Amino acid sequence: MPAERYWEIDLARGIAVVTMIVFHSAFDLNFFGVLPLNVSSGFLRMLAYLTASTFIFIVGVSFTISYARAAQRLTRRDLALKYVRRGLMIFSLGLVITAVTWFFLPSVYVVFGILHFIGIAIVLAPLFVRFGTTNLILGTACILAGYVTNAISGPWPLLWLGIHPASFASLDYVPLLPWFGLVLIGMACGYLFYPGGKRGFSLQAAEPAVARPFEVLGRHSLLVYFLHQPIILFLIAVLAPGVMPDV
C-alpha cells in the first residue's frame, strides 16, 4: 500500500517546478541569444535562488516524514541501506547530467549540481535526524559556514564542500555548504509539523481544485526535471531556427 502523501508538500514542490521552468526558459533564451534577459541578477536570479531553496527545504521535510515511517518497519541496518541506496541513485542521475552537459557544453558543464547535492544530502540526513529541532541551529551554522567556504579558493576535490578554484564555472553548482543547512532546517520543520511522519496540524484532507495541477507536477518533479530542458530547447529550435546550431 503506497504511503500517504500530503498535498501541501506536493503543491509547494509543484510551484517550485513551475518557477524552475520559468527560470530555465529565460536562461536558455538568453544563452542562445534569442532574448537579452538578465539572469545573473535581479528578479530572475532571485527566482532561481527561491526555486532551489524550496526544493532543498522540501527534501528535508520529506526526509523526516519518510524516515519516521520507515523506522517503524525496518531494522536499523535496512533503514541505513534504504537511504544510502536512494541517495546514490539520485547522485547517479546527477552524473548523467554531468555527462550530457560535458558533451555539449564542456566549458560550463555541471560538476556538482542539485541532483548530486540531493543524493549526498539523503545519504547524510540519517546522521542528523536524531537531533530534532536542534537541526534549526545546525542548519543555520551550515548556512553561515557557507559564506566562509564560498569566499575561499581551493582545489577541485573540495568542490562538493563549497571551495573551488577561482576560475571555476558551472551551469549548476549546489555545494554542501551552505545548502545542506536548508535540508537540516527542513528536517527540523518536518519534526515539528509532521511528528512521527503524520501531519500535526489541521488542514482539509483534499486539495483545492486550483492546487491540483501543481500537485501533479510536484508528484513527478524528478521526471519533469529531466524532460523540461529538452522540451524548452526543442521549442527554441522550432521558434528561432538557426540560433542553436550557430551557438
Q: Residue 121's pLDDT band (boundaries 50, 70, 90)? A: very high
The answer on 66 and 35 residing in a single domain is: no
Domain containing 243 equals: 1-40+208-247
Confidence of residue 244 (pLDDT cuts 50, 70, 90): low
pLDDT at 53: 97
Calculate mean pLDDT across residues 93-102: 95
Same domain, 73 and 137: yes
Based on the fold, state whether residues 95 and 131 are members of the same structural domain.
Answer: yes
pLDDT of 206 reads 80
Are 176 and 151 found together in one domain? yes
Shared domain check, 221 and 193 = no
Instruction: Please tell me the distance from the alpha carbon of residue 157 to that of residue 78, in angstroms, as a whole number.
Output: 31
**How would residue 247 be classed by pLDDT, with cut points 50, 70 and 90?**
very low
pLDDT of 243 > 80? The answer is no
Give the model's pLDDT for residue 101: 93
Q: Do 177 and 239 belong together in one domain?
A: no
Task: Report pLDDT digits (tens) over 148-171.
Answer: 998 889 999 999 999 999 889 999
What phi-psi label fits residue 79: left (phi over 0), alpha (psi between -120 and 50 degrees) or beta? alpha
Does residue 7 sit in the same domain as residue 103? no
Check residue 245 and give its pLDDT.
56
Please tell me the total count of domains within the chain: 2
DSSP 52: H
Residue 198 CA, chain-centre distance (Å), reads: 23
pLDDT band at residue 32 under the 50/70/90 scheme: confident
Residue that has been written with the C-alpha cell 538568453 in this structure: 30
Residue 112 sits in the same domain as residue 175: yes
